[in-house]
Amino acid sequence: MSDVVSAPTKWLAELFGTFWLVFGGCGSAVFAAKVIAEDEGTRSSFQVGIGFLGVALAFGLTVVTMAYAVGHISGGHFNPAVTLGAAVGGRLPWKDVPGYWVSQVVGGLIAGAAIYAIASGKDGFDATGNMAANGYGDHSPSGYGLAAVLLAEIILTAFFLLVILGSTESRAPKGFGPLAIGLSLTLIHLISIPISNTSVNPARSTAVAFFNGNGAPGQLWAFWVAPLVGGLIGGLLYPLLFENGKFKFGSSGAAVDDGAAS
CATH of the domain at 229: 1.20.1080.10
Residue 4: per-residue pLDDT = 86
For the four alpha carbons of 126, 128, 133 and 138, in that order, the dihedral sign comes to negative
> What mean pLDDT is predicted for residues 182-210?
98
In a domain, 247, yes or no: no
In a domain, 236, yes or no: yes
Selected residue with higher pLDDT from 249 and 168: 168
In a domain, 63, yes or no: yes
Q: Label residue 182 exposed, middle or buried (CB < 10 Å: 0-12, 13-18, 19+).
A: buried
> What mean pLDDT is predicted for residues 81-99?
96
Selected residue with higher pLDDT from 181 and 46: 181
Residue 246: per-residue pLDDT = 65
Residue 55: per-residue pLDDT = 98
In a domain, 193, yes or no: yes
pLDDT at 142 over 90: yes
Band of the pLDDT at 260, cuts 50, 70, 90?
low
Q: What percent of the chain has pLDDT over 70?
A: 89
Domain count, the chain: 1
Residue 45: per-residue pLDDT = 73
Instruction: Please write the tens of the pLDDT for every residue from 225-237.
Output: 999 999 999 999 9
CB-based contact 235:249 (threshold 8 Å): no
Name, in order, each residue with C-beta under 8 angstroms of 58's C-beta and a sequence gap of 6 or more: 24, 25, 27, 28, 29, 50
> What mean pLDDT is predicted for residues 46-73?
94
Band of the pLDDT at 196, cuts 50, 70, 90?
very high
In a domain, 262, yes or no: no
Residue 41: per-residue pLDDT = 66
Selected residue with higher pLDDT from 74 and 253: 74
**Across the chain, what does the average pLDDT equal?**
92
Residue 245: per-residue pLDDT = 67
In a domain, 200, yes or no: yes
Residue 47: per-residue pLDDT = 75
Residue 262: per-residue pLDDT = 46
pLDDT at 175 over 80: yes
Residue 211's domain spans which residues?
7-242
In a domain, 261, yes or no: no
Residue 249: per-residue pLDDT = 54
Residue 43: per-residue pLDDT = 66
Name, in order, each residue with C-beta under 8 angstroms of 56's C-beta and a sequence gap of 6 or more: 186, 187, 189, 190, 193
Residue 129: per-residue pLDDT = 95
Nearest CA to 63 out of 24, 32, 89 is that of 24
In a domain, 135, yes or no: yes
